[in-house]
């Protein structure tokens, strides 16, 4: 044997190929083993497999739903309700968690010791206690501490709070309201755009753009205009005690509200810390530069510091966004009918564990991937906008 020749096993290339083939075989074999066991277990006992149950009648009721549903709907319909409920809590929850995060995070940098300490206390308390425990706590406050339906508290006229949840006075049903809401969201998008445009113009010409006035105009005037066009309906729907429940108004169930409160306060604590750390990561010189330009503290924060901090903030924010969405699956413990909860019921009624657990994973994975894509896009956008 020639001494200069590398033996087969010492050649990194060969070794890498052997290693990979080995890993591949092991993974395939393990999956095959588990799969065949499952197959054998199910076949031996003639257990139904597949997703045929989707089209069967579900037969159970769901506590709250954003779309039409009753017990004669299919399992697919039921799972859709669960999916939308998860979507609802994820959107509303993340919205408030980000607001709280930014607000408390900025307070954490206040010059005032008292404000700083309060912010820090909030963050340390809420992120060091398991979320599930916090959810139970809020739910217990509702079911145990708050009075019953007939003794409902009324802190403001038309607003009731009791162990059946919050009952709010809302505008009575009218088709124009959905357009007004759409206009409001359009207003948000336009404000965002206007801000972007305004900052660009300011950078070019030095002319300051009155974004606050514009924002108020876009956010409020626009919807009001639509409302006027729709005949300006003013009829209110006031919750009234009737039989077993309040009728009219809008009901936030204790389940939804506890879940929302728990998720927002928990995730908000993490978000606050991210915002605080993000702002601190901007060099002190930037503050001084902004100050020397004569900008107020708030203005330097908004125009100089925050845009720079955002680049540090967005990646960890993305994982918090996802965390809140994934954590919303804890709803099952406090009876909010989210996707996991409905899937769980489906599992119980059909007995098809493999399909249902697989479905749960697939749905959350899709949520995660979509959010990641969106946030990556947003992050790239932010990085490009302010160089």
Partner 1 sequence: MYKWTKNPESRSLPAGEAMAKWMKKNLFPTPAQSMLSIILFSLILKMLTPFLDWFVYDAVWLGSADDCRQASGACVAFIREKFTFILFGFYPREYLWRPIAAIGLFICMLWYSKEPSRWSKRLVRRWVVYVFLWILLMRGGMFGFELVPSNKWGGLPLTLMLSFVGIVFSYPFGILLALGRRSKMPVIKAFCVGYIELIRGVPLISLLFMSSVMFPLFLPEGVVIDKLLRAQAAIILFVAAYMAEVVRGGLAAIPKGQYEAGEALGLSFFQIMRLIILPQALKIVIPPTVNTAIGMFKDTSLVLIIALFDLLNTTKTALKDGNWLGFSVEGYLFVALIYFIFCFSMGKYSRRLEYELTTSRSH
Partner 2 sequence: MKKLSILLLFTLFSGQALAGKTFKNIMKRQKVRCGVTQGLPGFSAPDSKGNWKGIDVDVCKAVAAAVFGDPKKVEYISLSSQQRFTAIQSGEVDILSRVTTHTLRRDSEMGLNFAPVTYYDGQAFMVRKKDKIKSALNLNGATICVQQGTTTELGLADYFRANKMKFKTVTFENNDEVVQAFVKGRCDAFTTDASGLASERTKFKNPNAYMILPEIISKEPLAPAVGHGDDQWFDVVKWTVFAMLAAEEYGLSSRNVDKFMSSKDPKISRLLGKTKGNGKALGLNEKWAYNVIKQVGNYSEIFERNVGKDTALKLERGPNALWTKGGLMYAPPLR
Residues that bind partner 1 (CB under 8 A): 16, 19-21, 23-24, 27, 34, 37-38, 40-42, 44, 111-118, 120, 124-125, 127-134, 136-137, 140-141, 144-145, 270, 273-274, 277, 280, 316, 322, 326-327, 329-330, 332-333, 340, 344, 347, 353-354, 357, 360-361, 364-365, 367-369
List the single partner that 155 binds among partner 2, partner 1, none, CB under 5 to 8 Å by kind: none
Nearer to partner 2, 202 or 344 (CB): 344
Residue 335 touches which member of partner 2, partner 1, none, C-beta under 5-8 Å by kind? partner 2
Q: Which two tokens stand for residue 23?
A: 């890993």
By beta-carbon proximity to partner 1, the closer residue of 71 and 121 is 121
Question: 236 has which bridge partners?
Answer: 171
Helix, strand, or coil (residue 57): strand
Which spans of this chain sit near partner 2 (rule: CB under 8 A)?
41-42, 44-48, 59-63, 70-72, 142-144, 148, 163-164, 242-245, 254-255, 332, 335, 337, 341, 344-345, 347-351, 353
Minimum CB distance to partner 2, residue 155 (Å):
20
By beta-carbon proximity to partner 1, the closer residue of 245 and 376 is: 376
Q: How far is CA 64 from CA 51, 100, 160, 251, 375, in A?
A: 25, 27, 19, 10, 30
Q: How many CB atoms lie within 10 A of CB 261?
A: 19
Shortest distance (Å) from residue 384 CB to partner 1? 24
Closest CB 63 distance from partner 2, rounded Å: 5
Q: Which is nearer to partner 1, 251 or 327 (CB)?
A: 327
In whole angstroms, the minimum distance from the beta carbon of 382 to partner 1 comes to 19
Closest CA to 99 of 243, 226, 271: 271
Residue nearer to partner 1 on the CB measure, 37 or 55: 37
Q: Which long-range contacts (CB under 8 A, 24 or more apart) does 44-49 make?
A: 47/351, 47/352, 48/350, 48/351, 48/352, 49/352, 49/354, 49/355
Q: Is the dihedral of CA 86, 89, 95, 101 positive or negative?
A: negative
- The residues, ordered by sequence, that sit 6+ positions from 83 with a Cβ below 8 Å of its Cβ are 339, 363
369 makes contact, choosing from partner 1, partner 2, none, with CB < 5 to 8 Å by partner type, with: partner 1
CB of 204 to partner 2, least distance (A): 58
The whole-angstrom separation of Cα 358 and Cα 87 is 19
Residue 70 binds which entry of partner 1, partner 2, none, CB below 5-8 Å type-dependent: partner 2
Least separation in angstroms between CB 107 and partner 1: 11
Q: Could you tell me the CA-to-CA distances from 308 to 107, 257, 317, 345, 376 in Å, in that order? A: 18, 35, 15, 47, 17
Q: What are the structure tokens assigned to 175, written together? A: 């088709």
Cβ proximity to partner 1, 210 vs 358, nearer residue: 358
- The least distance separating partner 2 from the CB of residue 190, rounded to whole angstroms, comes to 40
Please count the other Cβ atoms lying within 10 Å of the Cβ belonging to residue 134: 19
In the bound state with partner 1, the residue whose beta carbon lies nearer, of 369 and 383, is 369
- Dihedral angle computed from the Cα positions of residues 296, 298, 301 and 306, in that order, rounded to the nearest 10 degrees: -150
Residue 174: CB minimum distance to partner 2, A: 24
Of the candidates 374, 268, 249, the one whose C-alpha atom is nearest the C-alpha of residue 320 is 268
Of 50 and 175, which has the nearer Cβ to partner 1? Answer: 50
């Amino acid at each position: 044997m020639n001494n200069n020749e590398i033996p087969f096993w010492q050649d990194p290339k060969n070794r890498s190929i052997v290693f990979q083939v080995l890993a591949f075989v092991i993974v395939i074999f393990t999956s095959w083993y588990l799969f065949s066991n499952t197959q054998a277990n199910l076949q031996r006992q003639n257990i139904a497999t597949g997703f045929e149950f989707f089209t069967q009648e579900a037969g159970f009721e769901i506590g709250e739903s954003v779309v039409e549903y009753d017990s004669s709907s299919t399992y697919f319909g039921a799972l859709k309700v669960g999916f939308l409920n998860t979507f609802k809590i994820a959107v509303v929850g993340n919205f408030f968690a980000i607001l709280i995060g930014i607000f408390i995070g900025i307070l954490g940098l206040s010059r005032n010791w008292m404000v700083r300490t309060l912010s820090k206390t909030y963050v340390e308390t809420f992120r060091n206690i398991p979320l599930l425990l916090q959810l139970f706590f809020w739910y217990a406050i509702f079911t145990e501490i708050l009075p019953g339906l007939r003794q409902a508290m009324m802190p403001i006229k038309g607003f009731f709070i009791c162990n059946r949840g919050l009952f709010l006075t809302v505008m009575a049903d009218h088709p124009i309201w959905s357009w007004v809401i759409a206009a409001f969201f359009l207003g948000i998008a336009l404000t965002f755009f206007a801000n972007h445009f305004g900052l660009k113009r300011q950078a070019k010409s030095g002319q300051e753009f009155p974004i606050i006035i514009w924002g108020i105009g876009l956010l409020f005037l626009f919807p009001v205009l639509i409302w006027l066009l729709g005949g300006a309906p003013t009829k209110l729907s006031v919750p009234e005690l009737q039989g077993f429940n309040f009728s009219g108004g809008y009901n936030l169930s204790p389940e939804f509200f506890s879940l929302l409160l728990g998720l927002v306060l928990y995730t908000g604590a993490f978000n606050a810390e991210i915002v605080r750390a993000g702002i601190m990561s901007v060099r002190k010189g930037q503050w001084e530069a902004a100050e020397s330009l004569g900008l107020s503290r708030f203005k330097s924060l908004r125009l100089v510091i925050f845009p720079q901090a955002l680049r540090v903030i967005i990646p960890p924010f993305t994982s918090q966004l996802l965390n809140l969405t994934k954590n919303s699956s804890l709803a099952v413990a406090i009876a909010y009918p989210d996707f996991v909860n409905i899937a769980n019921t489906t599992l119980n009624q059909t007995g098809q564990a493999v399909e249902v657990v697989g479905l749960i994973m697939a749905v959350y994975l899709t949520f995660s991937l979509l959010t990641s894509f969106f946030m990556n896009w947003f992050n790239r956008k932010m990085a490009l906008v302010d160089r």
